[in-house]
Amino acid sequence: MSKNDSASTTPADVSRRKFLWGTAAGAAGTAVTGSVLIGGARADADASDTGHVTTADSYPFHGAHQSGILTPTPGAKQPFSCFAAFDSTAASKADLTALMKTLTERARFLTAGGAPANLGISQPPSDSDVLGPDVPADGLTFTVGLGASLFDDRYGLAAHKPAKLKPMTIFPNDSPDPAWMHGDLSLQLCANHPDIIHHAIRDIAKHTRGAMQLRWKIEGYNSPPRPSGTPRNLLGFKDGTANPTGGLASDLVWSGAGEPAWAQGGTYQVIRLIRMLVEFWDRVSINEQETMFGRRRDSGAPLDGNNENDAPNYAADPNGNVIPLTSHIRLANPRDAKTADQRLIRRSYNYDLGLDQNGDIQAGHIFVAYNQDLERQFETVQKRLVGEPLIDYVQPFGGGYFYALPGVADDQDWFASKLLA
């Protein structure tokens, strides 16, 4: 709720919110707030993009763009993921360059799969053997981003920072936990099975020891469509309906005018870690749940439609009698000409961290979005969502803004080569 809205809040609303805040305070130590969750600022879905998880063995590592952003399609992403942020401990620009070359070497191997090197019986083994003697690719994608803090005075990179890159904005009602915020580098791993994710993060930690240190890490998962269409989040609603696809997605995600030459082919990554207060949500009537979202829980259809991919007709409902003006989908994506370029590419996951210190379920949503311009897209959408009814049931506690690097062109190239060469 913004300061301008505070005068219209009833005592009952305040009392209810304070009750939820106090009861839900847990290990993350954060306050309830709103965020982009369902049906965000996105275009109508491609009818063929049904949200089914992929079973591909591997995806190309080399190319103009990194895999894991639009490859595979956001609506058919791998079912398991890990999002991690690191602090760079590289002592110099030369050491940072060596780190990027090592990350590239490991990513190139892990995403292709193969037999690890045999170092002989007198050396520690080159691989953990968690996946057996041969490492399968198993649909692994490996996406690296840089945080604003990497462009300080340590490596002489300040003049080359992407135009819109900055620490993640704290919005009204946000109370993020510093232990789960920001980072010099981000790493997104997505794959078909969780042991692939575990193996990859261990491999990276082993090979980059002394050059970067884990700051925070969270693992995510998604279920298959139940019963059909887009998979669901932990509030029971379909998540990712109407994600832009094809050429439309490319127009909204890849770097545009005003970015440094080295950054062409990259994109801004938003990671927002959102706890969902599921015990409280489960006590809310289905009618109230659906009006908060603006969609039917069972089918995912907008309240004025019959099918998940039906476009809501806001023009026929100007007063919000069917889809409330405060509903999530209506605030996130007003579907008018002036907001068309504010849509986002979503690549979000569920998470479960067990129980907090009060014995409450500590689970929720890893909101991930890729966009061309943080301020024009993500931040504009997020500002519209301040004060939405869902803020009583969702609790962001971490994340950051990162610039996802351009792709690695070939086997002679490496991450951030044009920035660091």
User: Measured between alpha carbons, how far is residue 219 from residues 1, 83, 194, 201, 235 in Å?
Assistant: 30, 6, 9, 11, 18
Task: Report d(CA 202, CA 213) in Å as an integer.
Answer: 12
Confidence (pLDDT) at 353: 97
Confidence check: pLDDT of 33 > 50: no
Contact 202, 126 (CB under 8 A): no
Confidence check: pLDDT of 280 > 50: yes
Q: How confident is the model at residue 54 (pLDDT cuts 50, 70, 90)?
A: low
The number of CA neighbours under 13 Å toward the Cβ of 62 is 8
Percent of the chain exceeding pLDDT 70 equals 87
Region of 197 on the Ramachandran plot (φ > 0 left; ψ -120 to 50 alpha; else beta): alpha
Mean pLDDT within 138-142: 97
Mean pLDDT within 255-260: 91
> What is the rounded average pLDDT for all residues in the chain?
89
Confidence check: pLDDT of 77 > 50: yes
Percent of the chain exceeding pLDDT 90 equals 78
- Residue 279 sits at φ, ψ, to 5 deg, of -65, -40
pLDDT digits (tens, 9 = 90+) for 290-314: 999 999 999 999 999 999 999 999 9
Q: How confident is the model at residue 385 (pLDDT cuts 50, 70, 90)?
A: very high
Confidence check: pLDDT of 43 > 70: no
Only one residue has tokens 């190239």, namely: 413
Confidence check: pLDDT of 3 > 80: no
User: Which stretches within 82-184 are classed as H helix?
Assistant: 93-112
Is the torsion defined by CA of 300, 306, 307, 308 positive or negative? Answer: negative
Q: How confident is the model at residue 47 (pLDDT cuts 50, 70, 90)?
A: very low
pLDDT digits (tens, 9 = 90+) for 175-200: 899 999 999 999 999 999 999 999 99
Omega within 30 of 0 (cis) for the link into 72:
yes
Omega within 30 of 0 (cis) for the link into 227:
yes
Residues 6+ apart with CB under 8 A from 140: 58, 59, 78, 110, 111, 189, 190, 191, 196, 200
Residues 6+ apart with CB under 8 A from 8: none
Q: Helix 93-112 crosses helix 194-207 at what angle (to 10 degrees)? A: 150
Confidence check: pLDDT of 27 > 80: no
Only one residue has tokens 């006590």, namely: 283
Query: Structure pTM?
Result: 0.89
Confidence check: pLDDT of 29 > 90: no
Six-digit token string for 86: 């690191």
Strands in 74-184 per DSSP E: 80-88, 141-146
- What letter represents residue 125's amino acid? P
User: Which stretches within 113-168 are classed as H helix?
Assistant: none
Neighbour count for residue 362 (Cβ, 10 Å): 23
Q: Write the DSSP assignment of 286-345 as a string of letters.
A: HHHHHHHHTB-TTT--BTT-SSTTPPP-GGG-TT-SSS-TTSHHHHH---SGGGGGG--E
Q: How confident is the model at residue 53 (pLDDT cuts 50, 70, 90)?
A: low
Q: How confident is the model at residue 73 (pLDDT cuts 50, 70, 90)?
A: confident
DSSP 411: T
Of 72, 118, 392, 415, the C-alpha closest to 262 is 415
Confidence (pLDDT) at 2: 39
